[in-house]
Amino acid sequence: MNLATALLKPGEADRHAAGHPWVFSNSILRLTGAVADGDVVQVKDHRQRLLGVGFYNSKSKISIRLLSPDRVAIDRSFFEHRLRSALAVRQKHLPEATSYRLVNGESDFLSGLIVDRYEDVLVLQTSSLGMDIRKAEIVSVLRDVLNPRVIIERNDQAARKFESLPVTNDVLFGDAPASLPVKLNGLVFDVDLQAGHKTGLYLDQVANWQAVAQAARDAVVLDCFSFVGGFALHAARAGARSVLGLDQSADAIAAANRNAVVNGVAERCQFEAANVFDWLKARSMTGPHEKLVPQFDLIILDPPSFTRTRAAVADALRGYKEIHLRALKLLKPGGTLATFCCSHHVDSVLFQEVILSAAFDARRMLRRVATYSQALDHPVIPAIPETEYLKGFAFEAVR
Ligand code: SAH
């Protein structure tokens, strides 16, 4: 194997020795040997000690994505080995599941590759050039290991522009249906394979849908940012008296309504296309001598990430505080607030601080009764902090 070498500046090696796969352009001292974008390079510290091998891309701020600490060939058998290990993790932790995230990029030591399994359909996303140009090989290994009916490429995510990759959606193998009924926790969700968010569903929340529903028995439930009804349908099945789901996407609301019918809970579920900020504001405003009568027993807040960068954290915190303050005003004493934050830049300590400050302003006292994380098919690798992003809490309003 004749590989070009990237030598790192002094002081830059430790985080990679500890397992972090992203080598930023400004930590490289020099490149020796000929290398094209997408090639495999070896990475060494300034004393020439090997740190690993990975994909190179001069066009990305992440110049190298390490794939292995050893000098292995990045070939068919490498991908097969990594995919089989990823599959084993899911079989161990989610033995009953037929739909799950099979490969979660850095969490599975395959930076730049995501593969979701929806029943017998696989949906693939490549967000690094090195992975992108090896798509055919990856598809061939996926066919061997999982024997799927269809493999789809959903490469319409914004992150591709950081690697100068074009946006493309395609069918890589088989005949793709427009949508697919997918079973999760015994409920059926209609997945739009060509246009749904992410690859179709928020699979990172699947375990939390079930956990939050424990507080839904006989409850009047408000599911904010409901998407296609993950929390709402689980709450209805668990015996909620009524469930109202809100999302700004008309397509998501239409799908949520179809899902409610298919699962036989339509008479207790209602979904409305609305901006949650506006809706909560309108419902929680009071006139000068008016007293607000809270009506909800369980409120779920699962907003999109309000910040993708560290720089915008302050704005994001204002957004989080606003929805918590308003939601708490609508929550009955004794009721439950289940709330989530999917921004890596807002950690659970900071997130809870924002909630507490909203509770202070709303004059509510909270009792924390549960903490949530991302599902086990989105493994957290503590040595790679970016793999941990989803956190949530359930609070009961003491008063
Ligand atoms: N709870 C869902 C996932 C929610 S993802 C689940 O578990 O499957 C965030 C959702 O918020 C998206 O569906 C998006 O359409 C919606 N959204 C984003 N901003 C919004 C806003 N201001 N008001 C209402 N919905 C919004």
Q: Does residue 57 lie in a domain region?
A: yes
Q: What does the alpha-carbon distance between residue 188 and residue 164 come to, in Å, rounded to a whole number?
A: 37
Q: Does residue 20 lie in a domain region?
A: yes
Q: Does residue 245 lie in a domain region?
A: yes
Q: Does residue 186 lie in a domain region?
A: no
CATH number, domain with residue 32: 2.30.130.10
Q: What does the alpha-carbon distance between residue 149 and residue 255 come to, in Å, rounded to a whole number?
A: 24
SS3 72: coil
Alpha-carbon dihedral sign for residues 44, 48, 49, 50: positive
Residues 6+ away with beta carbon under 8 Å from 388: 344, 373, 374, 380, 382
Residue 365, pLDDT score: 98
Residues 49 and 128 in one domain: no
Residue 157, pLDDT score: 81
Residues marked active site are found at: 342
CATH number, domain with residue 131: 3.30.750.80
Q: Using alpha carbons, select from 11, 3, 8 the residue that is nearest to residue 51.
A: 8
Distance of CA 19 to the CA centre of its chain: 21
CB 106 within 8 A of CB 80: no
Q: Using alpha carbons, select from 220, 264, 263, 262 the residue that is nearest to residue 245.
A: 220
Does the Cβ of 343 fall within 6 Å of ligand 1? Answer: no
Q: How many angstroms does the Cα of residue 189 sit away from the middle of ligand 1?
A: 16
Q: Does residue 187 lie in a domain region?
A: no
CB 256 within 8 A of CB 191: no
Q: What does the alpha-carbon distance between residue 327 and residue 355 come to, in Å, rounded to a whole number?
A: 11
CB 204 within 8 A of CB 378: yes
> Nearest C-alpha to atom 22 of ligand 1 is from which residue?
275
The residue to mutate among 248, 281, 340, 389, having the most atoms of ligand 1 within 8 angstroms of its beta carbon, is: 248
Residues 217 and 237 in one domain: yes
Domain extent at residue 104: 76-178
Residues 260 and 379 in one domain: yes
Does the Cβ of 372 fall within 6 Å of ligand 1? Answer: no
Q: How many angstroms does the Cα of residue 29 sit away from the middle of ligand 1?
A: 43
Q: What does the alpha-carbon distance between residue 108 and residue 105 come to, in Å, rounded to a whole number?
A: 6
Secondary element (H or E) of residue 322: helix 313-329
- Residues of the chain short of pLDDT 70, as ranges, are none
Position in ligand 1 atom list of the atom nearest CA 209:
7
Residues 237 and 384 in one domain: yes
Beta bridge partners of 214: none
Q: Does residue 195 lie in a domain region?
A: no
Q: How many angstroms does the Cα of residue 381 sit away from the middle of ligand 1?
A: 26
CB 145 within 8 A of CB 103: no
The four Cα atoms 89, 304, 207, 203 give a dihedral, to 10 degrees, of: -50
Does the Cβ of 204 fall within 6 Å of ligand 1? Answer: no
Does the Cβ of 279 fall within 6 Å of ligand 1? Answer: no
CB 218 within 8 A of CB 226: no
Position in ligand 1 atom list of the atom nearest CA 226:
1
Residues 303 and 226 in one domain: yes
Residues 348 and 364 in one domain: yes
Residue 194, pLDDT score: 81
Domain count for the chain: 3
Q: How many angstroms does the Cα of residue 224 sit away from the middle of ligand 1?
A: 7
Residues 359 and 222 in one domain: yes
Residue 156, pLDDT score: 86
Position in ligand 1 atom list of the atom nearest CA 274:
24
> Nearest C-alpha to atom 10 of ligand 1 is from which residue?
225
Residues 277 and 322 in one domain: yes
Residues 285 and 349 in one domain: yes
> Nearest C-alpha to atom 11 of ligand 1 is from which residue?
225
Residues 64 and 129 in one domain: no
Does the Cβ of 185 fall within 6 Å of ligand 1? Answer: no
SS (H, E, C) 92-119: HHCCCCCEEEEEEHHHHCCCCEEEEEEC
Six-digit token pair at 248? 């700004």
Q: How many helices (H) and strands (E) does the chain have?
A: 10, 20
CATH number, domain with residue 364: 3.40.50.150
Q: Does residue 29 lie in a domain region?
A: yes
Residues 6+ away with beta carbon under 8 Å from 349: none
Domain boundary among 50, 68, 86: 68
CB 263 within 8 A of CB 255: no
Residues 342 and 287 in one domain: yes
The phi and psi torsions of 206 (rounded to 5 degrees) equal -55, -45
Q: Does residue 209 lie in a domain region?
A: yes
Residues 335 and 209 in one domain: yes
